[in-house]
């Protein structure tokens, strides 16, 4: 299964399982012990006599088994005999208890997008689709997303076929820093909004590397390589090729990407530049589009 189709694989559960291994001496535990530790007694003591379960509900221990299976599918952990161990293929900093917790959200996003493991490319395609929406008029709940998918893709809804899967999509796109939710006090209903500011800011050190300023086209190429849900990335290209969704006029950035870059400039993280003799890209703003040739990073926030 995948993070989209396995409804028990929430960000909090996946993170808890990773952290349990990360902070265990030797980063190894019997799978049975992990299942016990990740199933609180209050849940384990749940009795079907007290409440009739629906067909979709499972015993807490069974839920945890699904979570651990997804941890392996992602490549975060692997099975050795009766034990689960943190995957030796993870980067050194992700196996370091001092740094792993902070780096895990970005690393997990990398694993979702990985070319070497396509198990979670279904949810990546949904991320890419959502980032093509108008930042001021994006679908913000299950009903609106379903209607938009049916309008654009007809019978192919990118596997977003029910409210449970929408919940997975919403949880994971927010966890990966590509969107966030807000609520109305009157009905306390959460609404989703595309905003990859946090994700792009995470990526800036890897985009700029030892440089402070890049041509805007090079900036976008590097972003698309790291996060292929953006313009020029593999998932975005597949949407354009297979569904004619998200197709932009040459050299124009989407409203979501434009909004994010403007926000990072307003916050003093990035700075736009225009040199008359350099190739430019068009970034949407209040007056239509603004021509940018270079982008400067002012370093990580203190």
* Domain extents in the chain: 11-96, 121-194, 197-297
Cα–Cα distance for residue pair 2/119, rounded to 1 Å? 6
Q: What does the pLDDT read at residue 44?
A: 45
Averaged pLDDT, groups of 10, the chain, 302 residues long: 96 97 98 90 47 50 93 98 97 96 95 97 98 96 96 88 96 98 76 97 96 97 98 96 90 96 97 94 90 95 70
* CATH level 3 topology of 11-96: Arc Repressor Mutant, subunit A (1.10.10)
Cα–Cα distance for residue pair 207/300, rounded to 1 Å? 12
The residues, any chain, with a CB within 8 Å of residue 268's CB and separated by 6 or more, are 298
Q: Which two tokens stand for residue 107?
A: 């690393």
Q: What does the pLDDT read at residue 41?
A: 61
């Amino acid at each position: 299964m995948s993070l989209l189709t396995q409804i028990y694989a929430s960000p909090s559960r996946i993170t808890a399982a990773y952290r349990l291994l990360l902070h265990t001496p030797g980063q190894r535990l019997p799978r049975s012990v992990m299942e016990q530790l990740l199933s609180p007694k209050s849940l384990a003591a749940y009795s079907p006599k007290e409440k009739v379960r629906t067909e979709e509900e499972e015993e807490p221990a069974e839920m945890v088994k699904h979570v651990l299976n997804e941890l392996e599918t992602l490549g975060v952990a692997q099975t050795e005999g009766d034990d689960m161990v943190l995957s030796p293929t993870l980067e050194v900093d992700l196996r370091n208890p001092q740094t792993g917790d902070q780096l895990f959200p970005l690393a997990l996003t990398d694993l979702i997008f990985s070319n070497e493991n396509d198990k979670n490319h279904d949810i990546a395609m949904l991320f890419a689709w959502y980032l093509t929406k108008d930042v001021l008029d994006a679908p913000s709940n299950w009903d609106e997303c379903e209607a938009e998918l049916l309008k654009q893709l007809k019978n192919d809804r990118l596997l977003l076929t029910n409210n449970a899967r929408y919940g997975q999509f919403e949880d994971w796109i927010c966890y990966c820093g590509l969107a966030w939710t807000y609520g109305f006090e009157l009905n306390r209903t959460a609404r989703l909004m595309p905003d990859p500011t946090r994700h792009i800011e995470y990526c800036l050190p890897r985009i700029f590397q030892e440089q402070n300023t890049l041509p805007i086209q090079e900036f976008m190429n590097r972003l698309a390589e790291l996060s292929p849900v953006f313009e020029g990335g593999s998932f975005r290209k597949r949407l354009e090729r297979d569904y004619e969704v998200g197709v932009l006029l040459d050299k124009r950035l989407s409203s979501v990407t434009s909004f994010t870059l403007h926000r990072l400039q307003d916050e003093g993280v990035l700075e736009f530049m225009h040199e008359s003799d350099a190739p430019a890209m068009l970034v949407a703003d209040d007056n239509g589009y603004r021509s940018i040739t270079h982008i400067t990073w002012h370093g990580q926030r203190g």
